[in-house]
Amino acid sequence: MRVHGCIDSVGHLGSDGHACWAFHERQEFIDAALEFFAEGLGSGQRIAYIGSESVAEQRERLDPLGGVGAMIDTGVLQLFDLGDLYRVGEPVDAGAQLALYAAAADAAFADGYAGLRVAAQGTDLLTDPETWDAHARWESAADRVFSGRPLSAICGYQRGAVPPQILNDLAALHPAANVSSGSVPFHLFGEDGGLALTGEVDLFSSEALDRALEFACGVEEPASLDLEALEFIDHHGIEVLARHTRRLAAARGCRVRNRPPIVDRLCDLLELEL
């Protein structure tokens, strides 16, 4: 299973890792990106930074990597202004962005790299409340593309600029998140062609799970949900799961795999089916 849960370092996310990295000061995200990129360079991956800073400032901030000019010239390192890749202030077009990242990954492979590693500072994509739901759906869709492929990313969001609930939702839709990303104790992410639910769900996090399943699970294709790494769930969480599995089953089908004993026990007691 991919690296998941609460992390304090991005140095060992692996080739298909995906982490939400909340920060107070921008340099905190730069420091995480430097660590993330160092691992990628050691694995033979192309690295790319996306942010609201000018490309010149990005280059200066990433200077501790060493040989930044040469890496840019040879294509090892790519720098992008956020506005060059996204329509800042508008809801994310998930299909267009997925195509863009897929093309970038294919280009990295074609150029002889082992994969693509991206550090994206996306705070400015969330300044308008009208963009929040689309962005959460985009993060979930992107994560499923990353799963099982040599394509990894850390997504940075500034605390205080992003509302706490939105930050919590985004953290829950990544396999991994740092402590500063919020207090949601579960993660819903891409795994083996479907979704995995890990961690704990109770009264206090069941509403967040409800939102996460809504963002992650459309009705366009059959759904698969793996519960093998689910550590705890109470009846509030089971009721949320049951409601969404009924919704998905009625549309295109839904398969729940690797159910821990507590799930079957609660379903029996509540007379619910997953």
pLDDT tens by residue, 11-41: 899 999 999 999 999 999 999 999 999 999 9
Kind plus residue range of the DSSP H or E element containing 20: strand 18-23
Question: Of 139, 160, 184, which residue sits at a domain end?
Answer: 184
Lowest mean pLDDT among 9-23, 87-101, 174-188: 174-188
Which pair of structure tokens corresponds to residue 144? 């499923």
Which pair of structure tokens corresponds to residue 65? 């990597």
Q: Could you tell me the CATH number of the domain that includes residue 216?
A: 3.30.750.24
d(CA 227, CA 223): 13
Partnered with residue 226 across adjacent β-strands are: 196, 257
Kindly state whether residues 204 and 270 are assigned to the same domain.
Answer: yes
d(CA 56, CA 269): 61
Kindly state whether residues 34 and 118 are assigned to the same domain.
Answer: yes
Kindly state whether residues 105 and 46 are assigned to the same domain.
Answer: yes
Kindly state whether residues 40 and 132 are assigned to the same domain.
Answer: yes
The residue among 121, 196, 205 whose CA lies nearest residue 168 is 205
Kindly state whether residues 83 and 212 are assigned to the same domain.
Answer: no
Residue type, 21: W
Q: Could you tell me the CATH number of the domain that includes residue 167?
A: 3.40.50.300
Instruction: Give the pLDDT confidence score for residue 216 in this predicted structure.
Output: 94
d(CA 138, CA 93): 8
Residues 6 or more apart from 88 whose CB is under 8 A from it? 82, 124, 125
The residue among 195, 193, 192, 206 whose CA lies nearest residue 243 is 206
Question: Of 166, 184, 202, which residue sits at a domain end?
Answer: 184
Kindly state whether residues 126 and 199 are assigned to the same domain.
Answer: no
| pLDDT of 240 above 70 | yes
Output the CA angle 271-186-36, nearest 5 degrees: 155
pLDDT digits (tens, 9 = 90+) for 104-120: 999 999 999 999 999 99
Residues 6 or more apart from 99 whose CB is under 8 A from it? none
The residue among 245, 244, 242, 238 whose CA lies nearest residue 266 is 238
Residues 6 or more apart from 173 whose CB is under 8 A from it? 20, 136, 139, 140, 143, 187, 188, 189, 212, 215, 216
Please give the tally of structural domains in the chain: 2
| Average pLDDT estimate for 153-170 | 95
Instruction: Give the pLDDT confidence score for residue 262 in this predicted structure.
Output: 93
Under the phi-then-psi rule, with left for phi > 0, alpha for psi from -120 to 50, and beta for the rest, what region is 83?
Answer: alpha
| pLDDT of 246 above 70 | yes
Residues 46 and 118: beta-carbon distance below 8 Å: no
Kindly state whether residues 179 and 204 are assigned to the same domain.
Answer: no
d(CA 37, CA 39): 5
In Å, how far from its chain's centre is CA 271? 34
Kindly state whether residues 65 and 94 are assigned to the same domain.
Answer: yes
Instruction: Give the pLDDT confidence score for residue 252 in this predicted structure.
Output: 82
Kindly state whether residues 38 and 92 are assigned to the same domain.
Answer: yes
pLDDT band at 220 (very low <50, low <70, confident <90, very high): low
| pLDDT of 263 above 70 | yes
Instruction: Give the pLDDT confidence score for residue 148 in this predicted structure.
Output: 80
| pLDDT of 159 above 60 | yes
d(CA 251, CA 200): 27
Kindly state whether residues 174 and 232 are assigned to the same domain.
Answer: no
Kindly state whether residues 113 and 222 are assigned to the same domain.
Answer: no
The overall pTM is greater than 0.85: yes
Question: Of 184, 212, 235, which residue sits at a domain end?
Answer: 184
Which residue range forms the structural domain that includes residue 193? 185-274
The three-class DSSP label of residue 266 is helix
Kindly state whether residues 83 and 175 are assigned to the same domain.
Answer: yes
